[in-house]
A and B are shown apart, each in its own frame.
Chain A
Amino acid sequence: MYKYDHYDQAMVDARVAEFRDQINRRIAGEMTEDQFKPLRLMNGLYLQLHAYMLRVAIPYGTLDSRQMRMLAHIARTYDRDYGHFTTRQNIQYNWIKLEDCADILEELATVEMHAIQTSGNCIRNISSDPYAGAAADEVTDPRPWAELLRQWSTFHSEFSYLPRKFKIAVIASPEDRAAMRLHDIGLELIRQDGALGARVFVGGGMGRTPMIAPEINPFVKAGDLLSYLEACLRVYNRYGRRDNIYKARIKILIHEIGADAYRRQVAAEFAHVKTFGIDPPLAELERINAFFAPPAYDAPDVEPDRTDPNFAVWLDQNVKPHKQTGYAIVNISLKPLGGIPGDATSAQIDVMADLAEKYSFDELRVTHAQNIVLPYVAKSDLYAVWHALRDAALADANLDLISDIIACPGLDYCSLANARSIPVAQKIATRFADMDRQRDLGELKLKISGCINACGHHHAGHIGILGVDKKGVENYQLTFGGSGAEDVSIGKIIGPGFDEDGVVDAVEKATEVYKELRQGNERFLDTYRRVGLEPFKQAIYG
């Protein structure tokens, strides 16, 4: 894992002091809320329905046990004893007091954490593959690049007042576990003739106008990457729309001028920018790389004992192959039956920290599906890990099944929401409570957003649910056929919406149609893509 040096620590400490001063000026009335708003947002502080919400950055979703314990401590001390892991691999606290905020950030800074640029019209926290460093299919570890991008994007003087927020994801595998092409910029690290570089995709996103990012450059050399991104951002900062907040994301600019025109403008800007020495030397990448050296693997190549059937079920569902013999990747589901997707109590966060320290070379990851990963667990330890997780109610064996739902906070918390998301997630999980039934349905990614802003990624759901307000009544639209993986696609609305119970019934009917029509090992998504909407529509609308 990356460790701060003097420069990193000095910058985070300075930020805490600066924000403390800004909060004091706000409380003293020296600043209007309008002036304070962009400043607090750049420090991750939102004003929600009931209280302030603080979003803490977990850079590229990677953290160690000390940092994880700090997250538990914050939840216990300043919030209501729980936190909410987000689709951007961050954590949110829902009940924060403005006057505690500087103290919280000061505590976070002691473990090399912060809330910098977790909101606002700036470059947000860099997201990445939660299996980075452990996946067999990666061409390189994307985390050093994510760290390089973190530093480059932090306090960027030119790009802190962009037309709109800006999200970057970096992966290094053909399998996409980070919804890379649904970001403003998606980077896929690849090798070409032995040289490392990136495929650059620009202009993806969800929200009210979902778009899949087109490829803007098939190969940018590693040593040119920051200059190229600087060029991408400058074109956006100058020409992105500022007249309408709903058309201000870079995807709209690229859609309006076309990918070719954007590509040409970026190329011209890059030729210019490249002359200014923005890319750090190789030595800096090597310095960062050293922090991500593989851990000291020493486990024997043994398969775990599968005699305990519940353990075997969890093993098959939540444990994934590792690139190192004798090791496995453990997914901890934060989707217990009837729970709130992504929520974890302070005690559970502590348990996960303990397990990481004892069994996973002190490392954890947050996934964009709002689960937690222990990336380096010896197969010989899996049974012990499962036992400890079960004792903490963290052993749900539902990874990628219908109850592994992504849901936004919805109208229960969010000031933007039109409808509740959490109760719908709970009702669907309860309807499919029978785990044999879930496993029979197989991989089925269901995602729920409580408004058109799509924080619950419904566009990328094999089944997506969008909550809208219909004349004062919550109404839920269904979409089918989305995917945030390497087979990326945007779901399509299937027809008129439903009330809360109606949408649960409709989902159930859709799964029945799938069971009738599936062939071989087809997933729900594959069957839908093969047969189209009609048979589903007939079953649901009659």
Chain B
Amino acid sequence: MVEFRYRTDEVTEQPSVTLDAFLDQSNATAVRLEPDDDARALIPFLDRLTLIEVAFPKFRDGRGYSAARILREAKYQGELRAQGDVLVDQIAFMRRCGFDSFAPESSLNPDAVARALAHYEYAYQRAADAVEPSWKLRHG
């Protein structure tokens, strides 16, 4: 269940299909990526997708962060959802990688999530969000 969503458009009602199923019958508009799936396989279809759900079966498995970056770098504009073992202390990095909705398996405290997201005012690197890296702030 989506607990946190940082978008204003309508939530997609269509259930997401697996990457293999999507590549077989690509009229679906929502797809689910497992950690083993290659996010780049979706690049030809990004303009018709409204939801990409990235599975985190274990929070320690960080492949989904790269999947998110790759999709946003390819100019995917739709909803990018992190689903599964998503913990409060991961959400800020996930947001930086381009995730804009979260469906954690175990419910998270909204105050704790808000605190975690507001905690770091600056970042050292450019990522998929709008935050300017500190070197950009230093030199304009």
Contact = CB atoms under 8 A, between A and B. Distances in A.
Interface of A: 5, 7-8, 10-11, 14, 17-18, 21-22, 35, 38-39, 121, 151-152, 154-163, 234, 237-238, 242, 272, 276-278, 280-281, 283-284, 287
A282 B121 CA distance: 24
Contacts, number: 97
A266 to B, nearest CB: 14
B45 interface: no
B28 interface: no
A280 B133 contact: yes
A200 to B, nearest CB: 19
B121 A22 contact: no
A160 B60 CA distance: 9
B59 interface: yes
Given A238-B63, A281-B139, A284-B138, A7 B126 contact: no
Contact of B138 (A11, A18, A163, A287): A287
B124 A151 contact: yes
Contacts of B73: 272, 276
A313 B38 CA distance: 62
Nearest to A156: B125
Interface in B97-113: 97
B96 A157 contact: yes
Given A22-B89, A156-B125, A161 B138 contact: no
A31 B119 CA distance: 19
Given A157-B96, A158-B69, A287-B138, A35 B122 contact: no
Interface string B53-96: 00000011111011001000100000000000001011011101
A234 B69 CA distance: 10
Nearest to A154: B124
B1 interface: no
Given A39-B89, A237-B65, A18 B119 contact: yes
B94 to A, nearest CB: 8
B135 interface: yes
Nearest to A273: B73
A5 B121 CA distance: 14
B120 interface: yes
Given A152-B124, A156-B125, A242 B61 contact: yes
Contacts of B122: 7, 10-11
A421 to B, nearest CB: 29
A237 B63 contact: yes
A10 B65 contact: no
B125 A278 contact: yes
Interface of B: 35, 59-63, 65-66, 69, 73, 87, 89-90, 92-94, 96-97, 115-116, 119-127, 133-139
B119 A284 contact: no
Contacts of B92: 157
Given A154-B124, A161-B61, A161-B62, A17 B119 contact: yes
A14 B119 contact: yes
B114 to A, nearest CB: 13
A350 B132 CA distance: 40
B60 A161 contact: yes
Contacts of B90: 161
Nearest to B124: A151
20 contacts: A7-B134, A10-B121, A38-B59, A38-B60, A39-B89, A154-B124, A157-B65, A157-B92, A157-B94, A157-B96, A157-B123, A158-B69, A160-B65, A160-B93, A161-B62, A234-B69, A237-B66, A242-B63, A276-B126, A278-B125
A121 B119 CA distance: 22
Contacts of B123: 155, 157
Nearest to A162: B62
A524 B46 CA distance: 62
B120 A11 contact: yes
Contacts of B133: 280
A163 B134 CA distance: 27
A21 B109 CA distance: 14
A212 B90 CA distance: 34
A36 B97 CA distance: 22
A7 B62 contact: no
Would you list the 7 A-B pairs with minimal beta carbon distance, nearest first? A161-B62, A157-B96, A280-B135, A157-B93, A7-B134, A284-B135, A151-B124
A175 B133 CA distance: 35
Contacts of A158: 62, 65-66, 69, 93, 97, 127
Given A35-B59, A35-B87, A284-B138, 9 more contacts: A18-B119, A38-B60, A157-B93, A157-B94, A157-B96, A158-B62, A158-B97, A163-B62, A242-B61
A136 B16 CA distance: 62
